[in-house]
A and B are shown apart, each in its own frame.
Chain A
């Protein structure tokens, strides 16, 4: 009796101990065997010893990690980032060491098993605490969607490149058929989108293929589907139906409807002349931008200047101007260049005002995206996101390679033109504004990243400087800034066309532009 009581008490004592570890067991079913892994709780999270992970993955324990097939996982004690090959993934909690042996959170076990058996082959049932390995469970793992100004993008995440076809079954219904597609259990229910363009997406597993039926509630717009890789994705863009033949979206226009008032100069072939200029007024909506000490907001000043610049260009050059925004609305950065790309603008100018804390800095500067500033990773993602072109007949890997070449060719040219435009704008600002000329600079500006055209950013004044804030409040100064930018645009246009007029061969820049759709 007494002994029983003692044992019970000891057990209670054990259960109540802080940090005391025993958490449970995980059964791993693999290759016809069952392996039971003991887990322990460390700071509230469930850990398994790396040694046991190595057993079930037939991996090799390294001094600083684990190798499974060709995949090396490098662990650092107390650092949640695990280095896998040349990428890093974050664990929910850092690996810990106990008597020289690593312990890792459960998700590491799943990642390592995936390295051995392939993603999509590892199934973890949290409720029954069984990890099950079998044949490929699924290869379509998620779906997300995003509504842009005039289209909705649906992205389906896949585990490998899959062939697909987009059919219009009726005006209101499209179907995306993915050959050999197997939907993850996460993708079994109808996804309600209801963004005014798409009502829902209804996934269905059919024989030999997965079918996603897209129900539209606004019919008839342009659609396109294309594949991206690394990770593999299938992207479907559904555009809003165009109103009439004007090519203008029915919603408040991001694209200026005053299409080409005048005709392009006769000196150059019409299709090579500069016909469209994209102007981006920085920030907007919930993104206020920098604030002056007296409360002047960057988003208001830059919109005002951008609209003045638009008027000058339209009136004096008679060419089309595309604005990324014409009112106080929030436009995501990636959408700004997308607007310019879709409009096939010839160049892109982003208008900003500057700020620096506790500084008397004043004046203007212009920026472009130098090759040096944008590293290769940024470049790769820019290619993927901005050259969503289907190079018919080519395999995805070949497409990737060709796109990279196209992108690099175009960008070498854009780089030169962007720096020239930045230089010309700076010179004109310098002539008209009697403040500090801070020069042409280069930095990895997000908003310039995806532009399929020469692109620059002008910081026309310091709103953080009391004197400049006062000037920016008045009409005259904003007019002068707009006038300077206009003169720069006109000069750049003239120079560009003069050079084209002399050059008999079309510019490579055009090839990338033509490839954009």
Chain B
């Protein structure tokens, strides 16, 4: 992002990946008690923030999760959580 220097940007990306991974882990652990609305919010947020931190893949997965939550399609949500987890681990 042009707004920040390289060091700031690297720090921000690292913090973002760490935070998103923690959040995803927590959601996956509590998936059975989660509401579709909370899952939709998670998908909506990472859809917006992924690209903001230079990770367009996260934005795409977030859009899919948000859409699946609206459709109450748990299989598709879980499938995308796995994809997201793999991606985040590759960046840790």
A and B bound? no
